Structure 1
Amino acid sequence: MNLFTTRQRFHQALAAAALALPLLASAQEMTPIKFVLDWKLQGVHAWYFLAQDKGYFAQEKIDITIDQGDGSANAVTKVMAGSYQASFGDLNAIIQNAATKPGQAPVMVYQIYNRTPFALITKADSPIKTLKDLEGKNLGSPAGGAAMRMFATLASKNGLDTSKITWTNMAGNLQEQMLLRGQVDASAVFNVTSYMNLVAQNIDPDKDIRWFQYADHGIELYSNGVMVSPQLIKDKPQAVVGLVRAIHKGVRDAIANPDAAIEALAKREPLINKDLEKRRLMYALKTVVFTPEVATAGIGDVSDERLKRSVADLAAVFELPRQPAPSEVFDRRFLPPLSERKLTLK
């Protein structure tokens, strides 16, 4: 091999390396984030996958992995265990963990469910006509169900003797079936899940079921939203900004085009009933996302005063050793501008 050929190949190698450097740097800039949902794939999760399909996470240099969950309270503990860096879970579970393990609990950075979806359901012909009628009855819930965990707050607000109430644990997909079969007298549910599960079983949830919405009985609690680990905030604050921005764009687009959102969901779970899941998505938007508070504060934010009252309620009911400050459990620094978050539902 002559000197010219050697030099030529040397320069070609340098050029190839130079071309590869930007690609390598780009790959190195990507932040991997493992994200766990609160439950099995449903219409209320469609915005995450719509954001993924539209490349919003990639634009933020985030390599996201989205897994199904098994309870909105469990979504909190999974982040605390280090299995995930972020999740869609329950703010109230954050508060309880922050009270006992300061600095270890996840932090809510984008509140989606402004109104708690917790509810108790019973059959329309049931003798349970008021909350007081629950005494002496058998209630059903999955073991990690947030509605069951928060029942003590509802009971405290409404003078119920919880010692007179028994609980039966069952798989989440059996809640409505066991109620309809009379195996439990009432069930503690997420309304956005249970409403459509009843529809799928040819039950009219408005006529055949009696609903006791926690929010209608003195419970001001917030519920599910996007939370991240304290470590992610410390190490990758810009990734948190990007995560929230990407998810918000997905929420925005899902509101504007729910059909596209459901199609994104169906790519991951082809066996879903698209019509049912679209109805679930719209039901959630109408009942727990869009509220008078959201009309003013925009999607994603909270009222500090309301959050403070919620913390006090939880502290009293669960005898928490301390009351975390709102800033310990919710951080609005990562939110997009209010002008981008003031959305309207068609």
Structure 2
Amino acid sequence: MKRLLTAAFAVISMTASAGAADIPIKFTLDWKIQGVHSWFYLAKEKGYFAAEGLDVTIDQGEGSAATVTRIMSGAYDAGFGDMNAIIQNAATNPDEAPVMVYQIYNQPPFAVLTKAGGKVESLSGLEGLKVGGPAGSASTKLFPALAEAAGFDAAKVEIINVAPNLQEQMLIQDQVDASLVFNVTSYLNILGQNMDPDEDFKWFPYGEAGLDIYSNGVMVSPKLLNDHPDAVKGLVSAIAKAMADVIANPAEGIDIIVKTEPLSNGALEMKRMEFALNNLIYSDETKANGIGTVDPERLTRSIAVIQKLYDLPNAPEASAVFDDAFLPATQ
């Protein structure tokens, strides 16, 4: 955790920005309250949003892509959601698409999950096998792009539509040979079944296989961006400050999650948060450049992947989907 703390503080200014005054912001999560949302709730609990002149209301979400839809509908001003959904909408509806202002998941959370000692020794070994994936999920949608990046034929893989809550069970029961998962969720689901996700399973992360895309971060509506840029800066500053607090003292983050959602399992949410920090948030890129920013060249490559995969009419410029103007100053 020490190196995470160093990386986080490299991009965080502890000085509150001025100019935002009592501005209400409706903020949507990507899913139900989890350990990976602790910094949002901590920023509210510790008064970091209030110190920036912001009145932030946080609601649970319905999926990473749904965050974009909620913001575009006008129901929310900001949220935690998927960069790739922004890219899709920026290509087709550029005036209404949200803009990412603080990239939290530097690495994609998508993975192929198999049983240790099973049929799959490499991704090319998926050819001729049955693979479970929820219809419409990002992990399933991105599978052809993964195959191209990893050098195997996706057409030779039989994709079985499975319910998200049955993915791990079907794999354990050998109803499928592999599952296309959101790793930070599956990791905890496996622990919940009293199995060891590291010893009993093999993980093939999409990012390590060459699918070089970004994922979830903090996005805002064009209206908030244009009408209240100081509020956007304050929002990012408060979240970054709270992230530093959680990295320095993870128990503080889990405490606020359990306080907010008493049915949460604090021990499991701690494991979820630690998994996300070490596998999704912290990377060579964040070590070099800090948490929250992106590499423009990598983002441009990511946009090209998404354009091809979804047959988008154009490739948005990197500056149209990510704005680094609101990042905290480095120390």
TM-score (norm 1): 0.85
**1:259 equivalenced with 2:251 (yes/no):** yes
Aligned pair partner of 1:304 in 296, 307, 326: 296
Q: CA deviation at 1:41?
A: 1.6
CA positional deviation for 1:221: 0.8
- Judge conservation of contact 2:72–2:221 (CA < 8 Å) in 1: yes
Summarize the Cα distance change of 1:83–1:134 in structure 2 as closer, same or farther, 3 Å threshold: farther
Distance in 1 of aligned mates of 2:218 and 2:283: 18
Corresponding position of 1:80: 72
Answer yes or no: is 1:278 the counterpart of 2:270: yes
1:175 to 153, 157, 167: 167
Q: Is 2:111 the partner of 1:131?
A: no
User: How far 1:184 moved relative to its partner?
Assistant: 3.0
Kindly report which structure 2 residues correspond to 1:19-168, keeping only aligned pairs within 5 A, or say none.
Answer: 29-168=21-160
Partner of 1:202: 194
264-273 vs 324-333, which moves further? 264-273
Aligned to 2:7: none
Instruction: Tell me the SS of whatever aligns to 2:165.
Output: helix
Q: Distance in 2 between matches of 1:313 and 1:143?
A: 20
Q: Say which SS state the counterpart of residue 295 (structure 1) adopts.
A: helix
Give, in angstroms, the shift of residue 284 of structure 1. Answer: 1.1
> Please, which moves more after superposition, 176-185 or 38-47?
176-185
- Deviation, 1:129, is 2.3
Change (3 A) 1:144 1:266: farther
Larger radius of gyration: 1
Q: TM-score, normalised by structure 2?
A: 0.88
Letter of the 2:269 partner, please give it: E
Q: Partner amino acid for 1:137?
A: L
1:142 Cα offset (Å) = 3.7
Tell me the equivalent position of 1:214: 206
Aligned equivalents of 1:86, 1:152: Cα separation in 2: 30
Alpha-carbon distance, 1:204 to partner: 0.9
2:180 aligned with 1:188: yes
Matches of 1:292 and 1:316, distance apart in 2: 27
**Residues 199, 184 of structure 1: alpha-carbon distance in 2 compared, 3 angstrom cutoff:** same
Q: Secondary structure at the match of 1:73?
A: helix
Q: Does the residue aligned with 1:109 lie in a helix, a strand or coil?
A: strand
The structure where helix makes up a greater share of residues is: 1
Shift of 1:317: 2.7
Name the amino acid aligned to 2:265: N
User: Mean Cα displacement is larger for which, 322-331 or 207-216?
Assistant: 207-216
Amino acid in structure 2 at the alignment position of 1:72: S
The residue that corresponds to 1:288 in the other structure is 280
Amino acid at match of 1:94: I
Task: Provide structure 2 residue ranges, at least 5 long, that are not aligned to the other structure.
Answer: 1-19
1:261-292 C-alpha deviation (Å, 9 max, x unpaired): 10000012112221111121112111111112
Match of 2:316 in 1: 324
Displacement after TM superposition at 1:110 (Å): 0.1
239-248 or 146-155, larger mean C-alpha shift: 146-155
Deviation at 1:140, TM superposition (A): 2.8
Q: Does structure 2 conserve the Cα–Cα contact (< 8 Å) formed by 1:80 and 1:106?
A: yes
Alpha-carbon shift at residue 123 of structure 1 (Å): 1.5
Which 10-residue stretch deviates more, 241-250 or 133-142?
Answer: 133-142
- The 8 Å contact of residues 30 and 62 in structure 1, kept in 2 or not, is answered as yes
Q: What is the DSSP-based 3-state SS (H/G/I as helix, E as strand, rest coil) of the residue aligned with 2:64?
A: coil
Match for residue 23 of structure 1?
none
Instruction: Specify whether residues 171 and 47 from structure 1 end up closer, same or farther in structure 2 by C-alpha distance, changes over 3 A only.
Output: farther
Give the CA deviation at 1:146.
2.1
Q: Tell which has more relative contact order, 1 or 2 (C-alpha 8 A, sep 6+).
A: 2
The CA RMSD measured in Å over matched residues stands at 1.8
Distance 1:29 1:91, change over 3 A: same
Matches within 5 A, 1:6-21: none
TM-fit CA distance, 1:67:
1.6
Taking a change above 3 Å as real, the CA distance of residues 133 and 300 of structure 1, as seen in their structure-2 partners, is same
Structure 1 unaligned segments of length 5 or more: list them.
1-27, 340-346
Superposed displacement of residue 185, structure 1: 2.7
Q: CA deviation at 1:29?
A: 4.3
Whole-Å Cα distance in 1 between the matches of residues 134 and 47 of structure 2?
Answer: 35
